[in-house]
Chains A and B, each alone.
Chain A
Amino acid sequence: MSHLRLSSLPAFLLLAVAACTLSGCFVSRQSTNEPLSMRAVSGLQPGTTTAQEVVQRLGAPNDVIQLGKRSAYRYDHTIQKSAGLWLLLIGFFNEDARQDRIWVFFDERNLLTHVGSTFSSHRPQYSMPWEDIHERSDNEPRDEDRREEEGVE
């Protein structure tokens, strides 16, 4: 049976680097606000849906903006994925945060006039800083999975 000999400096340094590497990596996931549903937005009808119905469907907004006699509500949900690797003196870190965001606009009678939505909270990735994380080939399968999960075309 052979034994690792630590008498040489390179072997010792290699072991020290390996030990530091093992203890120096992390991944974390952070979620802000309640998830938003694509299906809930598709049911909103400008000219018909009222502010009260929007709140019943989406919940309390994260922000309300007064625009003269009109108003706009913002809903958002953020997912942030972080990953890091620490090699003694050099650290590599990546943070990827994306949002689902909905803006709904109402006239002075609190009737819905406009809707804008962006859904990308399912796209963040755990990755290293040199990787391209905005490629279409990364996003398309994730978009497809989400549409299937929510039953939206």
Chain B
Amino acid sequence: MTPLGRLAIGLGLLALPSCVSFNYSRLSLNEPRPIIVAQELADKSAELQVCLDALGAPLEIWETADGFAATYGWIDQAGWSFTASISVRAVPVRFNYVSESRDLFGIVLLFSDDAKLRLARSGYLSEITADLRRRPPQPVED
């Protein structure tokens, strides 16, 4: 192969990553909490402080219609992704494929107004909290 040919191959290899790439990546966010412990606490209608001692500080807390909810969420996922981008007649075209989900998995605890745990759910937070996110009606004051 001529020196010019080798140079062309070298430049081609260097330029290729700018339009095609394979990535293996891992995202780890927060630490998993024991789902079985949350379920046991719900079975015992545990008080808020008992839940906090067992599971630590929640990620989020918000008011519900008849009490409040606390969520614990985490991600620990690895997977492949593939990205290809080219320019067709000055219009950039990009294709991206990601094999793993980036949704937070976790637990939501539902507390009554007197801070007793009445229900624990586990799953992807976006799914298990969807019906709980409605803001409770504000009391009308005279």
Residues of A at the B interface (CB closer than 8 Å) are 9, 12-13, 16, 20, 46, 65-68, 72, 74, 86, 88-99, 101-103, 105, 113-118, 120, 123, 129-130, 133-134
Q: Which partner residue on chain B sits nearest A72 by CB separation?
A: B61
B56 touches A12 (CB 8 A): no
B31 at the interface (CB under 8 A from A): yes
Of the listed stretches B21-29, B37-45, B85-93, name the one at the interface; the rest are far from the partner chain: B21-29
Chain B residues near A67 (CB, 8 Å)?
61, 63, 68
**In the bound complex, what is the Cα–Cα distance between A84 and B32 (angstroms)?**
24
Q: Does B98 contact A (CB under 8 A)?
A: no
Contact check, B61 vs A65: say whether CB atoms are below 8 A apart.
yes
Q: Is the CB of A94 within 8 A of B25?
A: yes
If A16-B13, A86-B17, A114-B52 touch, whether A102 touches B57 (CB-CB below 8 Å) is yes
Total A-B Cβ pairs within 8 A: 109
Question: Which B residues from 100 to 141 make CB contacts under 8 A with A?
Answer: 113, 115
A75 to B139 CA separation, bound complex (whole angstroms): 29
B26 touches A129 (CB 8 A): yes
- Given B23, B29, B58, which contacts A93 in the complex, CB threshold below 8 Å? B23
Chain B residues with CB below 8 A from A90, complex form: 21-24
Interface residues of B, Cβ cutoff 8 Å to A: 1, 6, 9-10, 13-14, 16-17, 20-32, 48-49, 51-53, 55-59, 61-63, 68, 76, 78, 113, 115
Q: Is the CB of B57 within 8 A of A93?
A: no
For the complex of A and B, 9 pairs with smallest distance between CB atoms: A116-B52, A129-B26, A118-B56, A93-B25, A101-B57, A116-B57, A91-B23, A118-B57, A96-B28
A16:B57 contact, CB within 8 angstroms:
no
Give Cα A117 to B54, complex, Å. 10
Do B22 and A134 touch (CB < 8 A)?
A: no
For the complex formed, measure the closest distance between the CB of A89 and the CB atoms of chain B, giving whole angstroms: 6
List, in ascending order, chain A residues with CB within 8 A of B23's CB.
Answer: 90-93
By beta carbon, the residue of chain A nearest B48 is A114
Q: In the complex, are the beta carbons of A98 and B31 less than 8 A apart? A: yes
Q: Please give, as numbers and ranges, the residues of chain B lying within 8 Å of A13 by CB-CB distance.
A: 13
Question: Is B32 in contact with A12, judged by CB distance below 8 angstroms?
Answer: no
